[in-house]
Amino acid sequence: MRIGDIIERKKRRRRLSDEEIRFVVERYVSGEIPDYQISALLMAVWFAGMDEAETTALTLAMADSGDRIDLSGVDGVPVDKHSTGGVADTTTLIVAPVVAACGGRMAKMSGRGLGHTGGTLDKLEAIPGMRVDLSAEEFVRTVNRCGLSIVGQTGNLVPADKKLYALRDVTATVDSAPLIASSIMSKKLASGASGIVLDVKWGSGAFIKTTEEATRIAHLMTAIGTRAGRTTVALVTDMNQPLGSGVGNALDVAEAISVLRGECSGDLLDVSTALARELLVIAGLYVDADSAEAAARRAIDSGEALARLAAMIEAQHGDPRVVDEVALLPRARRTVSVRSRSGGFVVAIDAERIGSAAQILGAGRARKDDPIDPAVGIVVKKRLGDPVDSGEELAVLHINEEGAAGEANERCAGAFVIGDSAPDPPALIVERVAP
């Protein structure tokens, strides 16, 4: 096989064989195929697309390009979730302890934030002493002991994705459905879980901007998971406003703790319980969604889910007292109110602008090696449809660097559109996709 011939075939919209796809992945990871030829192939895929079989073959070849996590030592059915990214989305820190409290085994490998979206590992590391760099043995042991563990990728996991994503980022080929689906699912398959629930977000604060594209990617990823022998379900959810109120790492953790204490209702709780019920059903612990969701809400009401979070924090060397004393989390030096310039109703919120304002304050990264400040961020005070008076508080900035305050304030204020009448509330869960 020759890479030039493969590029030519895809350029002419012909289907690539499993062998051709595996040849490309293996030879690229080994360094035998140069970046410029893979760049040409990525652009051909962007224009010509890939069918379900091709995308599955690409996913499996990427998953096989490095280590795979062995979860056979987990006592029960290990399950995992993945979100395509959003703003004030701290569902993992709620869902994982809820699933554990209901008898599940949540073995979760997470990533760090980049751009306007937050990363679960960064949130966890806002907890004093918290470790996310466990070995595979420690990971399995913590899952068995606590019912959950959330860690970073260990070893040489899916090196093909690391190389391909870096190249996609600089060749304008990130927004390709088969490339998105294979990137996500290769990491999920290599992480070893038997069941996977996907939260595919669409809207102003999401990477995917339309329901049609989100639904297409959700169908593609569930098909890949099914072909690979994993029970896979996806929910297509709304991200046209921040999911919760906290945008920033310590603020996210504090809000997750508040939800687990039973102190918060609303979209963040509703999406979290919806994801938890899917995980409990695919783990075989409940026969239907209604009984699973009732169990998830009981786990919060009883305090058992909060206790599971504390147990995981302690097992991973963090300070478990944070579940009772959120003041132990990092705190910014001061706060600044973002106020409305007119009265009326909130008719739109650009969640991406709010996320980028938090990034300006130091809560996010422009590049993977940028440092972050766990204390800073934004607390959103208004949601779609809320009435607003002129001069009323829309959000609160948590600031450490004074030089960032002005630009962040302007960007955050500009994210809120005020109109004369309240809009209809958006559908929070657009579609459930299952094989």
Give residue-wise pLDDT tens across range 87-116: 999 999 999 999 999 999 999 988 776 656
pLDDT at position 136: 87
Domain that holds residue 11: 3-49
Instruction: Note whether residue 71 is domain-resident.
Output: no
- Rounded distance, CA 59 to CA 179, Å? 9
Contacts of 410 (CB under 8 A, 6+ apart): none
- CATH code of the domain covering residue 345: 3.90.1170.30
- The reply to whether 319 and 335 lie within a common domain is no
- The reply to whether 107 and 189 lie within a common domain is yes
The residues annotated with a catalytic role in the active site are: 82, 161, 168, 183, 187
Strand partners, 81: 197
- The reply to whether 170 and 276 lie within a common domain is yes
- The reply to whether 273 and 345 lie within a common domain is no
Domains identified in the chain, total number: 3
Tokens of residue 341, six digits: 């310039």
- The reply to whether 321 and 334 lie within a common domain is no
Tell me the longest C-alpha to C-alpha distance in the chain: 67
- Rounded distance, CA 350 to CA 401, Å? 24
- The reply to whether 128 and 21 lie within a common domain is no
Instruction: Note whether residue 97 is domain-resident.
Output: yes
Contacts of 268 (CB under 8 A, 6+ apart): 88, 89, 90, 91, 94, 243, 244, 255, 259
Examine the fold and report which residue of 12, 30, 49 is the final residue of a domain before the chain moves on. Answer: 49
Average the pLDDT over 235-240 and give the result.
96
Residue 225's φ and ψ, nearest 5 degrees, are -60, -40
Task: Specify whether the CB–CB gap between 85 and 117 falls below 8 A.
Answer: yes
- Rounded distance, CA 285 to CA 429, Å? 23
Task: Specify whether the CB–CB gap between 388 and 346 falls below 8 A.
Answer: yes
Instruction: Note whether residue 426 is domain-resident.
Output: no
- Rounded distance, CA 274 to CA 305, Å? 15
Task: Specify whether the CB–CB gap between 377 and 251 falls below 8 A.
Answer: yes
- The reply to whether 312 and 359 lie within a common domain is no
- The reply to whether 300 and 355 lie within a common domain is no
Give residue-wise pLDDT tens across range 373-419: 999 999 999 999 999 999 999 999 999 998 889 999 999 999 999 99
pTM: 0.93
% of the chain exceeding 90 in pLDDT: 87
- CATH code of the domain covering residue 96: 3.40.1030.10
Give residue-wise pLDDT tens across range 333-384: 999 999 999 999 999 999 999 999 999 999 887 776 678 899 999 999 999 9
